[in-house]
Amino acid sequence: MPTQSAPRIAGIVATRAPIAVVIRRGPSRWTEQLVWNLETDEVIRGGWLAGRVEYESCDVSPDGRFLVGTYACHTPHAPPHQPVGYCVAVSRPPYFHVLAGWTRREVWGGGWNGPRALRLWDCRSSPSPDVGSVPPDVSVEVTARARFDACEIPDRHLRTRGWTEVQQLESELVNPDHESWARQLIAQGPPSPELVNVDQSERFLAATEEFLATVQRAIPRYRPVREGVWVKRFARGHHERRVSVAEPSWQGHHEVWSLHSTDGAAQRTFRPDPRGCQWLDVDHRGRVVFGEEGCLWAWEGFPDGAPRMVADLREHRVTRIATPPWAKEW
């Protein structure tokens, strides 16, 4: 297997079509979208996004025709179809052209209930997009609440893809006073620019140190109590995902993914960086498919034999690719 530095790869297998949508991140401020035809193993390159995609919140329609995802576009020089800043958007793989987009922060993410049935998690209970439009034959179901748990949308997507939560993640807050520090931080604000001069440099440094200390105290910190365990079973074995709170907890979750044969033996283990990603699934042919070290792999006949590299994505470079007309329409 390759061991050199590689881009991050995540993928989503359509539940009713032999298609996987692949999200490739790298360089750090750019994301590429691809489509993997699981019948022929052809990998089709698509568009680039000048920003970051929250891959855990992405979902592909059952027929593989649409992607809904959450992303942040970094550059003001992005094309017109890529709103700058935060956006929950629907597009046609493998392109990022926004057919419908929600740019307000109250919309947490989206998913698919059917080929043309969209679901939104929206704090304001409003299905109308801020960019583009939704055609009449596409239904939009809104889950509206004052706030959502950060894991709610990714967990829902795992369940629709055949995963079962067999043990719930538990953690405990170790600094319950963080909210009072957060209120103090808002009231205090950053050090005054008036202190940035030679005469008051010591005061500025002291104020900066105090400000950074308050920032640290305002961040909620958690201690792991019990790891979460997710399992996806298939004819030749099962996948397993174990997740716990990373230490320090602001780094997110620590995950261990493993691939097991029917006798329970772990045949392969993946330990992604807390800020990285891992993708492990089974396609419609019963093959184990996954991304590792910037490459796409398929393991036919698991656990016998060995995985075969389908595509090497490590050498991909940012390329301006025009969105074809069909990808600009629902």
Q: What is the pLDDT of residues 267-284, one digit of tens each?
A: 999 988 766 678 999 999
H-helix or E-strand spanning residue 134: none
Strands (E), 26-84: 31-37, 43-49, 51-60, 67-73
Task: Give the mean model confidence (pLDDT) for residues 132-152.
Answer: 83
Residue 225's pLDDT is 84
- CA–CA dist 269, 266 (Å, integer): 7
Residue 136's pLDDT is 93
Q: Strand 139-143 and strand 117-122: pairing?
A: parallel
Other CB atoms within 10 A of residue 52 CB: 16
Vertex 210 angle, CA 206 and 212, to 5°: 115
Residue 222's pLDDT is 78
pLDDT, one tens digit per residue, over 85-97 is 788 899 999 999 9
Q: In terms of C-beta distances under 8 Å and separation of at least 24 residues, what long-range contacts does 107-110 make, across chains too?
A: 108/57, 108/70, 108/148, 108/153, 109/54, 109/57, 109/68, 109/70, 109/153, 110/57, 110/59, 110/68, 110/69, 110/70
Residue 52's pLDDT is 87
Residue from 128, 129, 126 nearest 144 by CA: 126
pLDDT, one tens digit per residue, over 308-327 is 999 999 999 998 889 999 99
List the chain domain ranges. 1-161+314-330, 178-218
- CA–CA dist 74, 86 (Å, integer): 9
| pTM, two decimal places | 0.82
- Provide the percentage of residues in the chain whose pLDDT is more than 70: 85
**What does the block give as tokens for 85?**
């800043």
